[in-house]
Amino acid sequence: RLARQAGHNVVQPVASLCSLCSPDSDCRKLMGLSLRNVILTLYQDKKPVYSELGEMLFTHFGISGPLTLSASSYIKNMKGHIWTAEIDLKPALDEEQLYKRITNDFAILSAKSVQGALAKLLPNSMQPVMVERWGIDPATRANQVTREQKRRLVDLIKHWQVPISRRGDLEHAVITAGGVNVREVNPKTMQSKLCPGLYFAGEVLDVDAYTGGYNLQIAWSTAQAAAAHFEEV
Ligand SMILES: Cc1cc2nc3c(=O)[nH]c(=O)nc-3n(C[C@H](O)[C@H](O)[C@H](O)COP(=O)(O)OP(=O)(O)OC[C@H]3O[C@@H](n4cnc5c(N)ncnc54)[C@H](O)[C@@H]3O)c2cc1C
């Protein structure tokens, strides 16, 4: 508000490095499930804009965790595109290797139901959700699963899709994107070009970065530049 009063243009602040909301009811069913060593790929329409190996979390409203926070900063125009997070649950195996692994598991656990046969492959809470998504009768025994059904399972494990409807709340975001237009601020002194004696540092500026300490660095560096200039004048 102060910046606007001084004549500055303020780029509308939006949540960045935030959780992502999904209308998919499977997220709620998987709430609290934290996955390690998965690849999360974020698609803008059909184009991948982010892909990284790491950790993520299912929540009652969608997805969160380090990979999700990073992915969120690649969303520039939420409403203008279809956004989908795709999770590769077994990135260490390619599709052929995974098919063989499933065939092997199902041979060893041949008398078990399909859900029981997923025990070595997926976390407990994900097994019933996977069976539902798979569309297979839960009473099917592992040794009754057809080749096509195994291919479909491979596809689901390698491409678990979560449609994204919106960013998480601004209050819970790690940072905001948007703020005072940096063209109106002297980058050496952080002094306003429009209102002498007015300085900006940190989050209030339209500067944001990915995870990794860069946002704290922005706050410290801009504050240091401003403080150094106070001493000079
Ligand atoms: C949970 C969490 C984890 C984070 N982890 C990381 C990380 O690992 N690495 C990283 O680089 N960044 C991280 N960040 C982001 C980083 O903390 C911020 O980018 C940074 O703190 C911004 O510093 P700032 O001084 O600009 O703003 P802030 O730290 O928000 O400081 C603003 C201060 O101004 C005060 N204030 C607000 N309004 C008024 C007013 N009207 N009058 C007086 N005082 C007022 C506020 O109370 C606050 O103390 C994290 C943020 C969160 C929320």
Q: Is 215 in the pocket of ligand 1 (CB under 6 A)?
A: yes
At a CB cut-off of 8 Å and minimum separation 6, what does 215 contact? 17, 174, 175, 203, 208, 209
174 CA to centre of ligand 1 in angstroms: 9
Measured CA to CA, the distance from residue 69 to residue 90 in angstroms comes to: 21
Give the Å distance between the CA of 32 and the centre of ligand 1: 27
Atom of ligand 1 nearest to the CA of 222: 26
Nearest-atom number in ligand 1 for the CA of 216 is 11
| Domains (range + CATH), the chain | 2-12+174-232 (no CATH), 17-90+160-172 (2.40.30.10), 95-155 (1.10.8.50)
Tokens of 157: 């494990």
Q: Which atom of ligand 1 is nearest to the CA of 203?
A: 26
Output the CA–CA distances (angstroms, integers) from residue 39 to 24, 57, 86, 118, 156, in the order listed: 19, 12, 8, 20, 14
pLDDT at 212: 87
pLDDT in tens, 112-136: 999 999 998 999 999 999 999 999 9
The ipTM (two decimal places) reads 0.96
Alpha-carbon gap, residue 49 to 55, rounded angstroms: 18
- Dist. CA 203 → ligand 1 center (Å): 7
Cross-strand partners of 54: 38
Q: What tens-digit pLDDT sequence spans the chain (233 residues)?
A: 999 999 999 999 988 899 999 999 999 999 999 999 999 999 999 999 999 999 999 999 999 999 999 999 999 888 999 999 999 999 999 999 999 999 999 999 999 999 999 998 999 999 999 999 999 999 999 999 999 999 999 999 999 999 999 999 888 899 999 999 999 999 999 999 999 999 999 999 999 998 889 999 999 999 999 999 988 87
pLDDT at 159: 98
Decide: 102 in ligand 1 pocket, CB within 6 A: no
Measured in Å, residue 61 CA sits from the centre of ligand 1 at 25
Q: What is the pLDDT of residue 232?
A: 83
What confidence score (pLDDT) does residue 200 get? 98
Give nearest CA residue, ligand 1 atom 3.
Answer: 174
Q: Is 170 in the pocket of ligand 1 (CB under 6 A)?
A: no
How many C-alpha atoms does 208 have within 13 Å on its Cβ side? 25
Ligand 1 pocket, 179 CB below 6 A?
no
CA 123 to chain centre: 20
9 Cα–ligand 1 center, Å: 21
215 CA: nearest ligand 1 atom: 11
